[in-house]
């Protein structure tokens, strides 16, 4: 069986938002709520890992020749 492809970050976030709304509605029976909660935790971890990876990539791209990250306020980027 081929490994399941990972969803895009946006799809995972959208699915997570749907799960949160379903859980917040309070209309789910306990077993279904637990299933949704477990799926939500997995999506939350995936989204966090994806954001962490994106941050690492941005930091790598923003590093200078010495590997130091130079942070600049957005105002400085416009000029």
- Spell out the domains of the chain, with CATH numbers in brackets: 9-63 (1.10.287.1040)
Q: Tell me the sheet residues that pair with 63.
A: 69
The model's pLDDT over 19-78, given as tens digits with 9 standing for 90+, comes to 999 999 999 999 999 999 999 999 999 999 999 999 988 888 887 778 777 777 777 666
Does the reported pTM lie above 0.85?
A: no
Q: Where are the alpha helices (DSSP H) in the chain?
A: 9-25, 30-62, 74-78
The C-alpha atoms of residue 39 and residue 12 are separated, in whole angstroms, by 10
Longest dimension (CA), the chain: 56
Minimal CA–CA distance to 36: which of 55, 51, 17? 17
């Amino acid at each position: 069986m081929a490994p399941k492809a990972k969803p895009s970050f946006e799809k995972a976030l959208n699915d997570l938002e749907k799960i949160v709304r379903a859980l917040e509605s309070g209309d789910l029976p306990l077993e279904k709520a637990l299933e949704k909660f477990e799926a939500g935790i997995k999506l939350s971890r995936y989204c966090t890992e994806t954001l962490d990876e994106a941050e690492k990539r941005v930091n790598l791209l923003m590093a200078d020749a010495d590997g130091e990250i130079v942070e600049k306020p957005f105002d400085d980027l416009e000029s």
